[in-house]
Amino acid sequence: MSRVLREFREETRAWLEEHCPNSMRTRMVPGEEVNGGTKKRSSNPDAYTWLEKMSARGWTVPTWPVEYGGAGLDTDHFMVLLEELQMLGARPPLGGMGVTMIGPTLLEYGTEEQKRRHLPAIASGQYAWCQGYSEPGAGSDLAGLQTYAEDCGDHFLVSGSKIWTSGASHADWMFCLVRTDRDVPKHEGISFLLFSMDSPGVTVQPIELINGQSPFCQTFFDDVRVPKEDLVHKVNQGWTVGKRLLQHERSGLAALASADMAGPMERIKPSVSMPELFAKYAGADSDLDSVLRDDLVANDMLLTAFRLTQRRTLEESASQTPGAATSIFKYVEANYVKQQLELQLRIRGTQGLGWEGDMFTDEEVSMCRLWLEAKAISIAGGSNEIQLNIIAKRVLGLPD
Ligand SMILES: Cc1cc2nc3c(=O)[nH]c(=O)nc-3n(C[C@H](O)[C@H](O)[C@H](O)COP(=O)(O)OP(=O)(O)OC[C@H]3O[C@@H](n4cnc5c(N)ncnc54)[C@H](O)[C@@H]3O)c2cc1C
């Protein structure tokens, strides 16, 4: 390692040691995360101290240019920062669709004015964003979307509805795919708009999920006025922008600093190791049966291979931006998470099925709800089948 990197490592370690609050050096607790905006607050005040310190250094989005709220780190420096954060067990200071999805997309497709207006606000966590893609009749076939934006000279008027809009009830802004031309092939008549969720004509209706929570909504638009300066890229070329954003969503690379430490893979871990969990429920003298042992080892190997591949891909990617291969990560991660939670359930037995009540610990209840919630992970952001289609076509080059 070069002297410059060594010095950066030492300085980073000392700075993190001094500024990372103790409670931010523990595993993320549900309700304590910060995803931007003011409508949904973290229950831990330290989370905001941590966010302020990190964003002042540009370390909520370390690889973004300094003028847009980042620190302009190259891959080598970014990896050092990431390693130091991991060594400390530090939580990501900021998550959400701003830093992981729309921010990286605006870096590529936004006008200078859009970048200056939105990126620093995203980097400092000022606003929370949500994604207006899916519609009741357009999920996997996203390009079939019907929400219409009428061109009214200096603005659009948007009408229609989106569904499964995660976080819409506490988002400040939406990035949204709309139809701007009905008379051309479906992919060629789509545009990409940004608008405030407080715009007149936007209504949000929460949808309750199998785990008892309502993290997503149906969102209705009734003649929502969107100024032309909030169009990203060109009219009728929104499909290109929308697809690029999906690669960021699926990659986990764009937000490696956060994904590694607070993504689904970390959230699903039990508080003790899997063999300890087994001893706790089956009794210290019980032997792991060979089938369960094999399944645990296979699941662990999958995780290790995934992490190494994710890291290698980041190191090899000069541009630090994801490509079609991100569908592989999305697919493998979804399978890993679902398998891991099934294994925990097998170990906990009926204690793993606690919904509420004194018979169950808080961890048992929250893991049961997570097990139910995780059923959706192979659908969210594009289903497993769609990822396999993309891998076949764009990665392996197989014919349609
Ligand atoms: C937890 C969660 C959060 C979400 N958050 C958001 C959000 O914030 N914003 C947003 O816009 N959307 C969001 N979505 C929606 C998500 O993107 C869609 O659910 C997903 O794209 C699938 O679309 P669909 O539900 O309409 O299913 P459909 O497209 O109707 O698919 C039904 C089934 O058919 C299969 N299928 C469909 N087409 C093919 C094909 N060509 N080849 C093989 N199999 C196929 C699918 O794999 C699936 O199993 C979220 C979904 C979930 C579960």
pLDDT in tens, 8-46: 999 999 999 999 999 999 888 878 989 999 899 999 999
**Intrachain domains 3-101 and 263-395 with the same fold:** no
Amino acid type, 236: N
Q: Say yes or no: CB of residue 11 within 6 Å of ligand 1.
A: no
Amino acid type, 70: G
**Nearest-angstrom CA–CA distance, 17 and 216:** 37
**Nearest-angstrom CA–CA distance, 376 and 45:** 30
What is the pLDDT confidence band of residue 350, given thresholds at 50, 70 and 90? very high
Ligand 1 centroid–CA 243 distance in Å is 15
> Looking at residue 265, what is its pLDDT?
67
Q: Which atom of ligand 1 is nearest to the CA of 167?
A: 8
> Looking at residue 185, what is its pLDDT?
97
Q: Are 109 and 100 in contact (CB under 8 A)?
A: no
What is the pLDDT confidence band of residue 270, given thresholds at 50, 70 and 90? confident
Please compute the mean of the pLDDT values over residues 364-386 and round it to a whole number: 90
What is the pLDDT confidence band of residue 260, given thresholds at 50, 70 and 90? very low
Cβ-in-10-Å burial (0-12, 13-18, 19+) of 238 comes to buried
Residue of the CA atom closest to atom 4 of ligand 1 = 380
Q: Say yes or no: CB of residue 303 within 6 Å of ligand 1.
A: no
Q: Say yes or no: CB of residue 380 within 6 Å of ligand 1.
A: yes
Q: Say yes or no: CB of residue 252 within 6 Å of ligand 1.
A: no
> Looking at residue 81, what is its pLDDT?
94
> Looking at residue 118, what is its pLDDT?
98
Residue predicted with more confidence, 272 or 178:
178
Residue of the CA atom closest to atom 29 of ligand 1 = 140
The 3-class secondary structure across the chain, one letter per residue, is: CCHHHHHHHHHHHHHHHHHCCHHHHCCCCCCCCCCCCCCCCCCCCHHHHHHHHHHHCCCCCCCCCHHHCCCCCCHHHHHHHHHHHHHHCCCCCCCCHHHHHHHHHHHHHCCHHHHHHHHHHHHCCCCCEEEECCECCECCCHHHCCCEEEECCCEEEEEEEEEEEECHHHCCEEEEEEECCCCCCHHHHEEEEEEECCCCCEEEEEECCCCCCCCEEEEEEEEEEEEHHHEECCCCCHHHHHHHHHHHHHHCCCCHHHHHHHCHHHHCCCCCCHHHHHHHHHCCCCCCCHHHHHHHHHHHHHHHHHHHHHHHHHHHCCCCCCCCCHHHHHHHHHHHHHHHHHHHHHHHHHHHHCCCCCCCCHHHHHHHHHHHHHHHHHCCCCCHHHHHHHHHHHHCCCCC
Q: Are 148 and 115 in contact (CB under 8 A)?
A: no
Please compute the mean of the pLDDT values over residues 119-128 and round it to a whole number: 97
User: Is a pLDDT exceeding 70 seen at residue 320?
Assistant: no
Q: Which bin fits 131, alpha (ψ -120 to 50), beta or left (φ > 0)?
A: beta
Ramachandran angles phi, psi of 173, nearest 5°: -135, 155
Residue predicted with more confidence, 211 or 38:
38
Q: Are 297 and 370 in contact (CB under 8 A)?
A: no
Please compute the mean of the pLDDT values over residues 162-180 and round it to a whole number: 96
Nearest CA-CA partner of 321 in 22, 35, 100: 100
- pTM to 2 decimals? 0.90
Please compute the mean of the pLDDT values over residues 211-229 and round it to a whole number: 89
Domains of the chain by residue range: 3-101, 129-238, 263-395
Pairing of strands 129-132, 173-179: parallel
Q: What percentage of the chain exceeds 70 in pLDDT? A: 93
Q: Are 34 and 51 in contact (CB under 8 A)?
A: yes
Residue of the CA atom closest to atom 5 of ligand 1 = 166
- Specify the fold of 3-101: Butyryl-Coa Dehydrogenase, subunit A; domain 1 (1.10.540)
User: What digits encode the pLDDT tens for the residues 97-121?
Assistant: 999 999 999 999 999 999 999 999 9
> Looking at residue 329, what is its pLDDT?
86
Residue 76's DSSP bridge partners are none
Residue 227's DSSP bridge partners are 155
Please compute the mean of the pLDDT values over residues 213-222 and round it to a whole number: 88
Ligand 1 centroid–CA 163 distance in Å is 10
> Looking at residue 254, what is its pLDDT?
35
> Looking at residue 326, what is its pLDDT?
83
Q: Say yes or no: CB of residue 49 within 6 Å of ligand 1.
A: no
Best mutation site among 102, 140, 243 for ligand 1 pocket (most ligand atoms within 8 Å of CB): 140
Instruction: Provide the terminal-to-terminal Cα distance of the chain, rounded to the nearest Å.
Output: 46
Best mutation site among 379, 391, 400 for ligand 1 pocket (most ligand atoms within 8 Å of CB): 379
Active centre residues (catalytic): 249
User: Is a pLDDT exceeding 70 seen at residue 318?
Assistant: no
Ligand 1 centroid–CA 168 distance in Å is 17
Best mutation site among 383, 385, 387, 393 for ligand 1 pocket (most ligand atoms within 8 Å of CB): 383
Measured at the alpha carbon of residue 208, what is the angle toward residues 207 and 214, in degrees to the nearest 5? 80
Ligand 1 centroid–CA 95 distance in Å is 23
Ligand 1 centroid–CA 135 distance in Å is 10
> Looking at residue 9, what is its pLDDT?
97
Ligand 1 centroid–CA 303 distance in Å is 25
User: How many other CB atoms are there within 10 angstroms of residue 156's CB atom?
Assistant: 24
Kindly report which listed range (43-57, 204-218, 253-267, 277-291) carries the lowest average pLDDT score.
Answer: 253-267
Amino acid type, 293: R
Please compute the mean of the pLDDT values over residues 159-188 and round it to a whole number: 97
> Looking at residue 264, what is its pLDDT?
61
Kindly report which listed range (54-63, 184-193, 391-400) carries the lowest average pLDDT score.
Answer: 391-400
Nearest CA-CA partner of 193 in 253, 129, 137, 139: 129
What is the average pLDDT value for the chain, to the nearest integer? 90
User: Is a pLDDT exceeding 60 seen at residue 259?
Assistant: no
Residue of the CA atom closest to atom 23 of ligand 1 = 139
> Looking at residue 374, what is its pLDDT?
87
CATH code: domain 129-238 is 2.40.110.10
Residue of the CA atom closest to atom 48 of ligand 1 = 383
- Specify the fold of 263-395: Butyryl-CoA Dehydrogenase, subunit A; domain 3 (1.20.140)
Q: What is the token pair recorded at 97?
A: 């669709």
Amino acid type, 378: S
Best mutation site among 164, 209, 214, 331 for ligand 1 pocket (most ligand atoms within 8 Å of CB): 164
